[in-house]
Amino acid sequence: MVRGGSPLGSGAGASADQLAVRRHNLSLVLTHLRAVGPRSRAKVAAETGLNKATVSSLVAELVGRGLVAEGETERGAVGRPSQQIDLDGTNFFTIGTEINVDYLAALAMNVRGEVVAEQQVPLDAAGLGVQAVLRRLSRLVTALIDPLTARGGRLVGLTVAVPGLTERATGTLLRAPNLGWADTAVVADLRRLLDDPPYPILLDNEANLAARAEMEVGGRSAISNLILLTGGAGVGGGIVADGQLIRGSQGLAGEVGHMQLDPGGATCGCGRRGCWETVVGLNALLVAAADEDDPIRDPSLDLVQRLDALKGRAEAGDPRTLDALTRTGSWLCSGAGILINLFNPEVLVLGGHFAVLGPWLAPPLAECLPDRVFAPAAGSCRVELSTLGFSAAVRGGALEALARLFEQPTLVGDLTATPSGAMA
């Protein structure tokens, strides 16, 4: 924590150090309000260790930038009534988007972390090709932005989640076997399709972003060791160890779907044989559960509806569906056991289709893990289902873009000085 001894001006004459301290403290107040909710300036001062005059000056600047609003007056037990301050959800928003094998998704979130718009469209992404998918994505983003902009909102950051290896510095998708994409300049192409917008566009792996969402809004903020498995055509892993998302030396860690578990098994989209996702991925499950002409195997139909149909069959006791789920559950345990031996997580979160089909997958998994994990009682790892459905990655993407704004509140200009709220 950097404590400002006096209210520092952000205008001419302030040194680079003073400006850095000022920026840090703006971020500190903003982040604190997000964590604890509305409160008085005096309370913010007491809780952050900043002095009252500094907090008043910081809040005035945050109000000017449209990030904080003054709210109701609070009457304390003693002393004068004080006005509460809180994050202002009306001026800025971020968007998380996802390109996946069966769908495109986009979600808008305001500065308060509230979802203000959301859309998902079924799409056979692998069949369409890169440019057609990116055009569809740009149209989805525009459709989401336009009504929010018309109400005076301003987009300040967009994240694209993809099911593959990413080079975040250049916004390049290195490889996504289930999409059939390689060395794709996703950010540059999308930026062009969106007419070179002023906001930053980020690219990241869908499981990494979903893990962020599970930690921040999935009710798991106090957990430091977590593994998230995202089930879909591919299987992604977001691994949080000692509070940090594991990215590896090149940012390519977490590819749990390509652990070879069945050396004599089916060929994976990556070209290798018997990867974990060939036995627990959505395609393996659907192939085992239904014939080729069955609508639940049609990627152009809504994935949630297809999975609902599969659930219905399981609930009705359909033997073929139940056999397919038992097989998936058994292989799920083999891979999850390895991951738990490696990372000793407090929680294993099942996302994507693993969560939708959780009633048939989670109880047998929890039962089988102690047989596969060396630590007593599987290291006390709990198996939990994601409650975020297929929106975990887009939520994580919106949160990621929001985190940038919270780290650098000066990214948005003073609304009183520039009526359009132009980016600084």
Contacting positions for Zn ion (CB under 5 A) = 258, 268, 270, 272, 275
Sheet holding 68-74, edge to edge: 39-40, 82-87, 68-74
- CA neighbor of 350 nearest in space, from 255, 230, 184: 230
Tell me the closest approach of the beta carbon of residue 252 to Zn ion, in angstroms: 14
Q: Using the minimum distance from each CB to Zn ion, give the nearer residue, 22 or 258.
A: 258
C-beta closer to Zn ion: residue 134 or 162: 162
Q: Which two tokens stand for residue 337?
A: 């056991």
Q: Which is nearer to Zn ion, 275 or 347 (CB)?
A: 275
φ, ψ of residue 172 in degrees (nearest 5) = -105, 135
Shortest Cβ distance from residue 279 to Zn ion (Å)?
Answer: 11
Per DSSP, the three-state class of 370 is: helix
55 versus 280: smaller Cβ distance to Zn ion: 280
Select 178 or 386, whichever has its Cβ closest to Zn ion.
Answer: 178
Q: Give whichever of 352 and 396 is closer to Zn ion, judged by the CB atom.
A: 352
Q: DSSP letters along 293-352, please?
A: TSGGG-TTS-HHHHHHHHHHHHHTT-HHHHHHHHHHHHHHHHHHHHHHHHH--SEEEEEE
Write down the least CB distance from residue 342 to Zn ion, Å: 18
Minimum CB separation from Zn ion for residue 259, in Å? 9
Identify the residue whose tokens are 């989401």: 144
Query: How far apart are CB 214 and Zn ion at their closest, in Å?
Result: 24
Tell me how far apart the alpha carbons of residues 309 and 148 are, in angstroms, rounded to a whole number: 34
CA 172-177-182 angle, to 5 degrees, is 30
Nearer to Zn ion, 159 or 178 (CB): 178
Distance, first Cα to last Cα, the chain: 25
In what helix (H) or strand (E) does residue 155 lie, and over which residues does it extend?
strand 154-162
Whichever of 29 and 176 has its CB closer to Zn ion, that residue is: 176
Q: Which residue(s) pair with 121 in the sheet?
A: 104
Q: How far is the CB of 258 from Zn ion (least distance, A)?
A: 4
As a whole number of angstroms, the distance between CA 291 and CA 42 comes to: 66
Least distance (Å) from Zn ion to the CB of residue 235?
Answer: 9
Q: How far is the CB of 177 from Zn ion (least distance, A)?
A: 7
CB 104 within 8 A of CB 125: yes
DSSP-derived secondary structure for 61-120: HHHHTTSEEEEEEE--SSSS-EEEEEE--SSEEEEEEEE-SSEEEEEEEETTS-EEEEEE
> HSE (CB half, 13 Å, CA atoms) of 285?
31
Tokens 């907090």 — which residue? 55
For the CB of residue 275, give the shortest distance to Zn ion in the complex, in Å: 3
Length of the chain: 424
Per the CB < 8 A criterion, the answer to whether 29 and 58 are in contact is yes
Min CB(123)–Zn ion separation in Å: 23
